[in-house]
Amino acid sequence: AEPHVPDFPGMQQFAGRVLHTCEYKCGEEFAGEKVLVVGCGNSGMEVSLDLCRHGAKPSMVVRNTVVHVLPKEMLGVSTFGIAMALLKWLPVQLVDRFILAAARLTLGNTSRLGLRRPKTGPIELKNLTGRTPVLDVGTLDHIKSGKIKGGRSSEGGDEGRGQARGRQGGAAVRRNNTGDGLQEQRAVLAQGWRGCLHKRRHAQNPFP
């Protein structure tokens, strides 16, 4: 598999450094900088949290704001382990309902953060399309507090209208509801990998 590096409008004019998550080592080198994180999958969430913990100012932007975000653990037990155990006795739809109910109790309503849940449950969606649910490692708390900014790319359709993204002078600029701008100095692409190996694992593992 190879790193997926999409070509975004204005990226050639972006003055800051652009790197893929495979090149990302530690947020320490970004301390004090404004960093754009493209993608809100597991990699994007983890990178944003690490940047925040090391004193950087991350802004996360996504094209698709319809995503399942689940707690990494439930009562000290991994969500993956609970799901696998329940699937031995219950149909996938019932397991999805249980997991989503627990997620609402622990994480709250993620749609208030601009992350709307798909109509299909997380495990069933993984089996059907290969889309992996995002396991929260503490990033949502930082998004709620405003330490990690969020937004939607200008190519992202009608979803997430409360927050938008634009391009100004070729550089990435985040605009929130009040119209404030934040110009990033570097960008981290959390767009996953290009390849077919992960498709073979869809039916085997509901989570990463």
Q: Which of 5-14, 127-136, 182-191 has the lowest mean pLDDT?
A: 5-14
| Angle (nearest 5°) at CA 200 between 194 and 205 | 105
CB of 206 closer than 8 Å to CB of 123: yes
> Which burial class, exposed, middle or buried, applies to 183 when counting CB atoms under 10 A from its CB (0-12, 13-18, 19+)?
middle
Per-residue pLDDT, 63: 75
Place 105 in a pLDDT band, splitting at 50, 70 and 90: very high
What lies within 8 Å, CB to CB, of 195 at 6+ separation is: 1, 2
Per-residue pLDDT, 38: 87
Per-residue pLDDT, 71: 95
Backbone region of residue 53 per phi and psi (left: phi > 0; alpha: psi in -120 to 50; beta: other values): alpha
CB of 67 closer than 8 Å to CB of 140: no
Distance (Å, whole) CA 104 – CA 68: 11
Task: State the Rg of the chain over Cα.
Answer: 17
Per-residue pLDDT, 35: 92
pLDDT digits (tens, 9 = 90+) for 18-54: 888 888 889 999 999 999 898 888 999 999 999 999 9
Report the range out of 2-6, 110-114, 122-126, 178-182 with the highest average pLDDT: 122-126
CB of 137 closer than 8 Å to CB of 148: no
Distance (Å, whole) CA 103 – CA 207: 15
| Angle (nearest 5°) at CA 54 between 172 and 50 | 75
* pLDDT above 70: percentage of residues in the chain: 70
CB of 90 closer than 8 Å to CB of 76: no
* pLDDT above 90: percentage of residues in the chain: 45
Query: Is the entire prediction scored with pTM above 0.85?
Result: no
CB of 133 closer than 8 Å to CB of 126: yes
Q: Could you tell me the domains of the chain? A: 2-67+135-194 (3.50.50.60), 69-132 (no CATH)
pLDDT digits (tens, 9 = 90+) for 151-202: 655 444 433 333 333 333 222 333 333 334 446 688 888 876 665 444 444 4
Please give the average per-residue pLDDT across 86-93, as a whole number: 96
